[in-house]
Amino acid sequence: MRYGSSRKVLVTGGAGFLGSHLCDRLISQGHEVLCVDNFFTGTRRNIAHLLDNPRFELLRHDITHPLYVEADEIYNLACPASPIHYQFDPVQTTKTSVNGAINMLGLAKRVKAKIFQASTSEVYGDPELHPQPESYWGRVNPVGYRSCYDEGKRCAETLFFDYHRQHKLEIKVARIFNTYGPRMHPNDGRVVSNFIVQALKNEDITVYGEGLQTRAFCYVDDLIRGFLSLMETGPDVTGPVNIGNPEEFTIIKLAETVIRLTGSKSKIITRPLPPDDPRQRRPDISMAQNVLGWTPQIQLEEGLGKAISYFETFLSADKSSGAVR
Ligand code: NAD
Ligand code: UDP
Ligand code: UDP
């Protein structure tokens, strides 16, 4: 299955925001990519430019069902990531994280593939410890609206570590913090895409609560570089490892920055804070820096500029085609 340095790589969730950027990077490195996606939140548009590439293959499949293919490496990214999408069908969200992980781990075990899990800062819940190191066990509500995602991802981590201990699988678990950039779904409700789209349309910017909650935002290219570095580490490096940008902002500050960078006439309005919304979040990235030699390089205003350009093009293409999304 391995020809020279080119590897056969399976990417689940490959038509999504992060997955499509990962597919791009893997193809540019000369690998064969099998992109598996059920198109719940991903779109063909994200990978349209890869469809003619002979090293790229697309398979519509739901990972809650078994999958029998060959691969040298697996990146398991399939799972809706935005609160409105993962809360739309919460039972399916848990099934995707848990049953999907079991299937992908079973596949990795059969073909002896190295397997990467896209975990999340949500495993820390609404944290009392700030910034969050990997050693922190988190503070997660097991029965709330975010639990399908948070507990699903926590269980997936457990499965990864048990397959590692019990079946000697080579695993790589990344805890991803809020990431943004081109190909985010314009209507998926995440804060960066919401604010940019609202600003470009001169609509009200919806800040939830007082906007004093914090997040730290990583630009997608930095994140994907972190994924690839983690996958390249030796078998002893399992993670979990935080990957994110440690520069922390309040949500109100993000809204003001987006208004300034877009030159928008939008006004900031407030909306109720969703239940269990974490008050603060910032990664401790010492482990990624020490073990992977990885540090994010693109700071917020530069990354927002790239995301704004993407959404400008996206919205004007939509307008001229009369599309309704
Ligand atoms: P996304 O919603 O754009 O992508 C998820 C992809 O998975 C979509 O293409 C979707 O159609 C697909 N999918 C969902 N359920 C599936 C299933 N059962 N079978 C097959 N495909 C399925 O989200 P994203 O931002 O690209 O996130 C990718 C991964 O990274 C997710 O696992 C998410 O939990 C994790 N993550 C992302 C962030 C972030 O800030 N973007 C933060 C933490 C963790
Ligand atoms: N599986 C899969 N593809 C494979 C191998 C396994 O989808 O190539 C699924 C299979 O359906 C199984 C799950 O992965 O339910 C877990 O596999 P494992 O071998 O760990 O356990 P078992 O087969 O004993 O349930
Ligand atoms: N948020 C907001 N307005 C929006 C969307 C989100 O104020 O239009 C807030 C949300 O309440 C949260 C933060 O921005 O405090 C990040 O939200 P997102 O859904 O992007 O990610 P997560 O909550 O999963 O970190």
Question: Using the 8-state DSSP alphabet, how is residue 60 labeled?
Answer: E
Ligand 1 within 6 A of 213 CB? no
Residue bearing the CA closest to ligand 2, atom 9: 103
Q: Annotated catalytic sites, by residue? A: 149
Q: β-strands 8-12, 205-208: how paired? A: unpaired
- What fold does the segment set 8-177+220-244+284-297 form as a domain? Rossmann fold (3.40.50)
End-to-end Cα distance, the chain: 41
Q: What is the pLDDT of residue 231?
A: 98
Residue bearing the CA closest to ligand 1, atom 41: 179
Distance between alpha carbon 49 and the CA centroid of its chain, in Å? 21
Q: Where are the domains of the chain?
A: 8-177+220-244+284-297
161: tokens are 């570590």
Which run of H or of E encompasses 171? Answer: strand 171-176
Ligand minimally distant from the alpha carbon of residue 71: 2
**Residue 2 predicted with pLDDT over 70:** no
Bond from prior residue into 131 cis (ω within 30 degrees of 0):
yes
Residues 108-160 pLDDT 10s = 999 999 999 999 999 999 999 999 999 999 999 999 999 999 999 999 999 99
CA distance 296 to 290: 13
Ligand 2 within 6 A of 102 CB? yes
What's the predicted TM-score (pTM) here?
A: 0.96
Ligand 2 within 6 A of 66 CB? yes
Question: Using the 8-state DSSP alphabet, how is residue 121 labeled?
Answer: G
Closest ligand 3 atom, residue 82 Cα: 19
Interval between CA 78 and ligand 1 midpoint (Å):
5
209: tokens are 């609560």
Interval between CA 164 and ligand 2 midpoint (Å):
15
Cβ count near 220 (within 10 Å): 22
